[in-house]
Amino acid sequence: MIVVDLHEPPEIVAFLKQSIDTLPKTNLNTSRWADYMWSTWDKGIEHVERKQWGEILSGMDKVERQLRLEYQAHPSARLYLLIEGVIDPDSSGVTIMKRRRIPIPGRKGTEVAWVGSWHSRQPYARVSAWLSAIQRMGIYLVFTQDHLSTAQMLVQMFKTSQRQSTTLNRYTKPDIQFHENPQIMSLIGAYNTGISVVLAERVIRDFTTIHNMLEYSPEMVASTVEGIGIVKAKQMQRAFGKDV
């Protein structure tokens, strides 16, 4: 379910309805919520303030005040600033681009192109610095082209928030454990020993060295070391070349 502010464009709501079943509309802004709000998989709240580039370029201070009030009113919620539209920076400022159908030179028909519709003398360097400051406040930035891509982005953000992310898990290396005792380090570092630092400490405490542990049968190791069974003892001894 995505809750939508009453003042959001009906075109975006119509696009959202194609993918989201429940879209209650209410006056979110009066309670210092942003334009779109939903609950996440871990019982958190995310809300998205949608602005077009014209609102940003003509009133950064006003937008900043609104974001600050929303952020302060709901500090535990994750706040996004979604900026809709396309701009073209140049040395004299920033031009807002609009998608238009224009005649094809020398041919019949038209083609879709982005053309300049309004120019702001706001330096792009200042705009970039302002966006960086917004991020440092803890507000997340999202960029879209138009109402359709805004709706598509909102749907993806909502669906992603409904499950725990595993995006970077395959790149996350396990913590490397170190111990001052080289015997314990050898135990936990050997391939497929299957024991933790705690169990390795118990093995060395009871047998002093790995060599001594290998002198005994797996049954003896299991009966001596707390937390070590026969299967685990065999696995540990095989890791050091003992045929068990």
Q: Which of 163, 193, 219 is the last residue of a domain?
A: 163
152 domain-assigned: yes
51 domain-assigned: yes
Average pLDDT score over residue span 148-154: 95
101 domain-assigned: no
End-to-end CA distance of the chain: 59
pLDDT tens sequence across 106-139: 788 888 788 888 999 999 999 999 999 999 888 9
Residue 196 has a pLDDT of 82
Confidence of residue 169 (pLDDT cuts 50, 70, 90): low
* In the predicted structure, residue 168 carries a pLDDT above the cut 70: no
Confidence of residue 58 (pLDDT cuts 50, 70, 90): very high
83 domain-assigned: yes
CATH number for the domain spanning 8: value is 3.40.50.10130
The encoded tokens of residue 92 equal 């004299």
- 223 and 131 part of one domain: no
CATH number for the domain spanning 194: value is 1.10.150.20
Q: Which domain holds residue 215?
A: 182-238
Lowest mean pLDDT among 29-38, 74-83, 157-166: 157-166
Closest CA to 203 of 244, 172, 239: 239
116 domain-assigned: no
Average pLDDT score over residue span 88-98: 92
108 domain-assigned: no
The proportion of the chain whose per-residue pLDDT surpasses 70, expressed as a percent, equals 92
pLDDT tens sequence across 24-38: 999 999 999 999 999
Closest CA to 62 of 72, 73, 51: 51
* In the predicted structure, residue 237 carries a pLDDT above the cut 80: yes
32 domain-assigned: yes
pLDDT tens sequence across 1-15: 999 999 999 999 999
Mean pLDDT of all residues belonging to the chain: 88
Residue scoring higher pLDDT (99 or 60): 60
Residue 82 has a pLDDT of 96
- 196 and 159 part of one domain: no
* In the predicted structure, residue 208 carries a pLDDT above the cut 80: yes
* In the predicted structure, residue 190 carries a pLDDT above the cut 80: no
- 158 and 187 part of one domain: no
Centre a 10 Å sphere on the Cβ of residue 228 and count the other Cβ atoms it contains: 20
Confidence of residue 177 (pLDDT cuts 50, 70, 90): low
Structural domain count of the chain: 2
Residues 6+ apart with CB under 8 A from 156: none
Average pLDDT score over residue span 30-56: 95
* In the predicted structure, residue 178 carries a pLDDT above the cut 80: no
- 70 and 147 part of one domain: yes
pTM for this prediction: 0.67
- 133 and 231 part of one domain: no
Residues 6+ apart with CB under 8 A from 227: 198, 199, 202
- 156 and 187 part of one domain: no
